[in-house]
Each structure stands twice: as C-alpha cells, then as structure tokens.
C-alpha cells in the first residue's frame, strides 16, 4: 500500500527503506518472504476503439502493444505465472451499461504457454469502451490466492469511461484489502487527464506510472515490471497497536500492518539488547478522501515516558501516503558502568493528524505500514576509536608525532642533497 510519490512512495514506500535502513537478518523474522508461491502478473490491456490511432512509431497503438506483448512473453521468467485481461475488446455498441461490462480474461493467470498466449493476443481488434475500474476489480480476482507477489500491469490510451465507478477509488479498495497487490500503469498518450488518473491508480497501491510514446519503451517497461514481480516480496504481518505502551505488542525486526483512526495514537514495544540499535519507519495511506494538510509523528520514548527521538512528516493533499522514520543509536548506559550499554524497552508511538469532511467514513482506520529493524550497533573499539575523537586521541597524537618525524627526516635529506650538490 505504500506508494512512491514518484514515489511514499515511497515513498512512499521509499521512505520506509530510506529511514529504516532495512537489513533484516536471516531467519523466520516477521514479514519475511516465504517464497512458497509463484509470483503472479496480470497484464491488463486497453482494446478500446481509440487504440486504432496510428501515432506510435508509424503504427497503431494496438499493433505496438501486440508487438510489445510478444516480446514480453518471450522474456517472461519461468517462475512467473502470467495472465492477460482485456478491457473494451468485445462490445462495439453504444449502450454504456453493456460497454462497462466489457472486460474478459484473454489468457488465464498460470504457467505460461508462450505460443498459446501469443495466439490469443493476435486475435485482438480495437473495439469498444474503456472500463478501467471494472477491469481492475476482475484482475484482482484473477490474482486471488497464494502469498507470492501479485502485480497488475495496466496499459491504456484513455481515461475510464464508466464513472461513477472511479478507478482510483477501486485501486484504493484493492489496497485496503491488504493482499499485497501492486498496480503499475502505462499511458500511451501524453495527456494530462490520463496521466493524473493512471498516476492515482498506481500510487494507491505503491505502484508506478509511466508515459510511453514508443514501442520499444513499452516493451522495456513491461519487461521490467514482469521481472520485478519475480523478485522476493516481503509480506507484512498484521498487528494491533495499543492505547498505551504498557499494553502494546512487542515487535521484532520485520514489516507490520495496522489501522489507525483519525487523530489516534498507537503504541508498540521493541526490546533492545546491549549494543543494539533501533531503526523504524511508518507510512500511512489515505485510502479515502481526506482534507489537505495532514501529518504523521513517530516517537521513541522510554517506558517512563521520556522522549528519546522523534520523526515527523506532513502532507498537503498532493500524495496519498505520508511517511517518516527514526533511529535510536543504542540503549542508555548503566549508571554503575558508563562503558557498558544496557538492555532496554523502547516504546514506539505513532500519531496521525488526518481529518475528513462530513460523510466520509472514519472506520476502519487508515492503513499503516510499520518497519522495525533491530541491528547490532557499531563496534566502538574499531569504528569510534579509529575515527572519532572520544577515544581516538591516541590516533591524533600518533599522527602528530609521525608528521613531526617525517618533517625532520625530510629536512635532513634536503640539507644533505644541497650539501652534496655544492660539493660537486
């Protein structure tokens, strides 16, 4: 659900990796990919009448898409289960109600028979409407089941023609289900309205939007997205924060999901051993209409309520995701032994400042993703003493002495060379 503000995405989804410095250790950590199920990709192709236009390298948009699909099918990794869905391919009439039902599975998601899939693509002829919203709902069903990565790649040359079923709202509904499905979009026309709609669809699920104007660009981009589906995916673990640190769940390194109501504060706990560091980040997605000017605050505090460090971020309505993160270098030191770090419990508090107009549902809360990374801190004997000045005064002194001796030797050699030159 974390999208890039590209992008939370990152960013947003983006900020989760940047601020947390994700480096999960090997083992069965929370949110770690299982790798048991094959990745799934559903290519959703616009076959509406406008795809007849001949403005892509001297050929029609449909011809360019077919050629790109054939090359993508040849390059699809063996482990990827791929399917093809169409929208606007069958109904050529003027009945809007019928036109908005026009989406079909051209090739089912599963092990790929390249010849069969190419034969199916070859039969496509630009025909009807552009029911993007209905096609996305059906494509999500195509990818149902399994815990492998799921990706929809939507290729269109026009805006949805089936309002009030807003495809951006459809994408938000898909993201809210928490099924780990990403929607990437590609626009075949440099149109501002199309760009805004396809960007909104992609960002709602942490996907990307790309505008392409040439057939080779289309091929390369779709290939890249299909290959990306084969990469390991981290599945978030559902958790439920508490109203206070005392009752909060204890989290280990991993990726977690939760929901937080408008203006609510949620607490989580992390146990740090001696010498360990905490890196954490949070991303909150607006999966419904919210007012501009919102924010998220993440605080690390002691069990006694004293704040250690905080991270905060604000938004102005231009993105659907806001993210922030923090780093707690190491536990405080014991009073009786200043050289020995102590184990400690860190309370992580997440507070949001979203608001909405009357009539907008406030429950369930907004979806959030929380990244927790507990790592070993730097070895002070090597990292701090070697380059810092706290315990590294001996190094500074050694450098001064070495420089002084080197100067004496160089001066003696210079005077000796001058003496020899005068003698000769």
What are the DSSP E strand ranges found in 117-219? 150-156, 181-187, 209-211
- Which residues lie below 8 Å from residue 129, measured CB to CB, with a gap of 6+? 48, 87, 88, 91, 96, 99, 100, 102, 161, 162
| Cα 325 to Cα 16: distance, rounded to the nearest angstrom | 7
**pLDDT for 149:** 87
How sure is the predictor about 117, in pLDDT bands with cuts at 50, 70 and 90? very high
Confidence of residue 328 (pLDDT cuts 50, 70, 90): confident
Average pLDDT on 244-264 reads 91
- Fold for 237-377, please state it: Jelly Rolls (2.60.120)
Which has the higher per-residue pLDDT, 361 or 151? Answer: 151
Q: Are 324 and 282 in contact (CB under 8 A)?
A: yes
Distance (Å, whole) CA 284 – CA 356: 15
Residue predicted with more confidence, 15 or 47 = 47
| CATH class of the structural domain 33-229 | alpha beta
Boundaries of every domain in the chain: 33-229, 237-377, 382-418
Please tell me whether residue 331 adopts helix, strand or coil conformation.
Answer: coil
Predicted local confidence at residue 393, as pLDDT? 54
**Taking all residues of the chain, what is their mean pLDDT, rounded to a whole number?**
81
Q: Which secondary structure element, helix H or strand E, spans residue 411, and what is its range?
A: helix 393-423
Kindly indicate the confidence band of residue 386, based on its pLDDT and cuts at 50, 70 and 90.
very low
pLDDT of 15 higher than 70: no
Cα–Cα nearest to 128, from 52, 49, 53: 49
pLDDT in tens, 30-42: 544 444 688 999 9
Task: Give me the pLDDT at residue 241, please.
Answer: 94
């Amino acid at each position: 659900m974390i999208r890039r503000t590209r992008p939370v995405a990152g960013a947003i989804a983006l900020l989760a990796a940047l601020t947390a410095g994700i480096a999960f250790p090997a083992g069965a950590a929370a949110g770690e990919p299982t790798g048991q199920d094959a990745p799934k990709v559903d290519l959703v192709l616009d076959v509406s009448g406008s795809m007849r236009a001949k403005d892509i390298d001297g050929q029609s948009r449909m011809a360019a898409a077919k050629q790109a699909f054939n090359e993508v099918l040849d390059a699809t990794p063996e482990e990827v289960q791929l399917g093809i869905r169409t929208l606007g391919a069958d109904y050529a009439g003027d009945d809007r109600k019928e036109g908005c039902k026009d989406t079909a599975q051209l090739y089912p998601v599963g092990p790929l028979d390249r010849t069969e899939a190419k034969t199916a693509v070859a039969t496509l002829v630009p025909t009807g409407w552009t029911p993007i919203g209905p096609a996305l709902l059906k494509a999500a069903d195509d990818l149902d089941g399994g815990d492998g990565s799921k990706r929809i790649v939507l290729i269109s040359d026009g805006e949805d023609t089936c309002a009030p079923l807003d495809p951006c709202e459809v994408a938000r509904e898909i993201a809210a289900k928490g099924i780990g499905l990403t929607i990437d979009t590609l626009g075949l026309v440099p149109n501002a309205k199309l760009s805004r709609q396809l960007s909104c669809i992609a960002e709602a699920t942490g996907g990307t939007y790309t505008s392409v104007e040439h057939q080779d660009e289309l091929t390369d981009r779709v290939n890249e997205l299909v290959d990306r589906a084969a990469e390991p995916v981290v599945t978030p673990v559902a958790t439920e924060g508490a109203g206070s640190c005392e009752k909060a769940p204890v989290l280990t390194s991993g990726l977690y999901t939760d929901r937080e109501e408008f203006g609510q504060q949620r607490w989580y706990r992390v146990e740090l051993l001696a010498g360990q560091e905490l890196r954490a980040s949070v991303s909150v997605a607006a999966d419904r209409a919210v007012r501009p000017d919102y924010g998220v605050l993440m605080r690390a505090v002691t069990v006694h309520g004293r704040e250690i460090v905080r991270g905060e971020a604000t938004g102005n309505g231009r993105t659907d995701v806001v993210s922030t993160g923090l780093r707690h270098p190491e536990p405080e030191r014991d009073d009786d032994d200043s050289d020995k770090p102590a184990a400690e419990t860190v309370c992580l508090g997440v507070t949001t400042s979203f608001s909405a107009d009357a009539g907008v549902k406030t429950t369930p809360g907004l979806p959030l993703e929380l990244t927790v990374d507990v790592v070993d801190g730097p070895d002070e004997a090597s990292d701090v003493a070697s380059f810092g000045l706290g315990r590294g005064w001996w190094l500074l002194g050694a450098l001064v002495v070495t420089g002084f001796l080197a100067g004496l030797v160089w001066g003696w050699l210079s005077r000796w060379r001058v003496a020899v030159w005068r003698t000769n």
